[in-house]
Amino acid sequence: MLWLLFLPLPHLGGSVPMFPDPRSGTEWAHTVGGHSAPPGKWPWQVSLRTFSKERDQWEHSCGGSLIHPQWVLTAAHCTALDASEPQTYRVQTGQVTLYHRDRLTMVAQIILHPKFNLSLLAWGGADVALLKLEAPVTLSELVHPVSPAPDSLMLLPGMKCWVTGWGTLGSLPPAHHLQEAEVPIVRTQACERAYHKGPSAHGQDTVIKADMLCAGRKGQGSCQGDAGGPLVCYWLDTWLQVGVLSWGMASRPRDYPDVSTRVMSYSSWIRQHVPLEL
């Protein structure tokens, strides 16, 4: 399984920065700068699982979001290697503590966006995929879809949104309790500058593509294992998913925002496959 969040950028140099010193007055949460989420607050959050022969269990590999009782939105790089074998994946819904009373749902179909390039991975863009579940899940207070943002939605820099996940920070094990963190939307130009500054940057290649969205501040954001999870904003009395967590840097010694796939760029593609009316 590929891990894109916080791998080094190949065209910005090959070194992986060290993680910041976690010694501080607060607990070092796995979703960086975050804290434990209460049950039912993010009812669309799912855990994408792959089977570990070594541990003989279905282990968390990526995040995802329920956008319909039978459809999950996630990152293409989370499933690209086995897209033709959906039976190798399972989905857990309605859970805040990993592996607590698992009731896994089989994946019947994986649809990668046709522009996703496996050789370029997330850095080439179109890092988005749809998973059709074998059967619709039962909706409840703990399990409910989130609405993908329409293509007309305009996000203002500084707008506060949220990321969630069970990701792992460095050599630490994954968080067993779902973590949440509030993050601001970052202007694309500022995000581009952040990834180009420093001695590792070279050339004039555009890092942040048109279908990418940046969010987060130094010391806050997501981790490896959060990839595929949702970036959501509260807009006009409803939660909208604006991003699918895709990639970022291995640490935050400087201000490196997380990079998500911009959901608004793919709203029409999502509608082609998913009947979003419940």
> What pLDDT digit, counting tens, does each position of 44-88 carry?
999 999 998 998 899 999 999 999 999 999 999 999 988 999 999
Do 110 and 183 lie in a common domain? no
For residue 150, count other CB atoms closer than 10 A to its CB: 12
Domain annotation covers residue 164: yes
- 60/82 Cα distance (integer angstroms): 16
For residue 94, count other CB atoms closer than 10 A to its CB: 21
Residue with the two structure tokens 């995040």? 63
Do 156 and 256 lie in a common domain? yes
Backbone angles phi, psi at 267, to 5 degrees: -65, -40
Whether 8 has a pLDDT exceeding 60, the answer reads no
Q: Do the Cβ atoms of 99 and 23 come closer than 8 Å? A: no
**What pTM, to 2 d.p., does this model score?**
0.84
Radius of gyration of the chain (CA): 17
User: Looking at this protein, which amino acid is placed at residue 223?
Assistant: C
- 102/53 Cα distance (integer angstroms): 18
- 33/26 Cα distance (integer angstroms): 9
Do 60 and 86 lie in a common domain? yes
Whether 142 has a pLDDT exceeding 90, the answer reads yes
The token pair at 244 is 């699918």
Residues β-bridged to residue 90: 49, 106
Do 124 and 171 lie in a common domain? no
Do 182 and 232 lie in a common domain? yes
Ranges of H-type helices in the chain: 188-196, 267-273
Do 157 and 183 lie in a common domain? yes
Do 173 and 218 lie in a common domain? yes
User: Looking at this protein, which amino acid is placed at residue 88?
Assistant: T
Q: What pLDDT, on a 0 to 100 scale, did the predictor assign at position 9?
A: 36
Domain annotation covers residue 36: no
Q: What pLDDT, on a 0 to 100 scale, did the predictor assign at position 254?
A: 55
Q: Which domain holds residue 128?
A: 45-145+269-273
Do 134 and 183 lie in a common domain? no
| Tally of domains in the chain | 2
- Mean pLDDT of the chain, nearest integer: 82
- 111/130 Cα distance (integer angstroms): 5
Domain annotation covers residue 2: no
Domain annotation covers residue 14: no
Q: What pLDDT, on a 0 to 100 scale, did the predictor assign at position 176?
A: 84
- Dump strand ranges (E) for 40-192: 45-52, 57-68, 71-74, 89-93, 105-112, 129-133, 147-148, 160-165, 179-186
Cα-Cα-Cα-Cα torsion 71, 77, 83, 87, nearest 10 degrees, comes to -70
Q: Stretch 151-160: mean pLDDT, rounded?
A: 94
Domain annotation covers residue 100: yes
Do 189 and 221 lie in a common domain? yes
The secondary structure element, H or E, covering residue 91 is strand 89-93
The token pair at 46 is 């799912």
| pLDDT tens-digit map of 226-254 | 899 999 999 999 999 999 999 987 555 45
- 62/277 Cα distance (integer angstroms): 26
Q: Do the Cβ atoms of 239 and 233 come closer than 8 Å? A: yes
Do 199 and 128 lie in a common domain? no
Domain annotation covers residue 15: no
Do 119 and 215 lie in a common domain? no
- What are the Cα distances from residue 275, in Å, to 8, 52, 57, 266, 270? 37, 33, 32, 15, 9
Q: Helix, strand or coil for residue 56?
A: coil
Cα-Cα-Cα-Cα torsion 84, 90, 92, 97, nearest 10 degrees, comes to -120
CATH assignment of the domain containing 165:
2.40.10.10
Domain annotation covers residue 51: yes
Q: Do the Cβ atoms of 219 and 256 come closer than 8 Å? A: no
Whether 32 has a pLDDT exceeding 80, the answer reads no
Do 251 and 204 lie in a common domain? yes
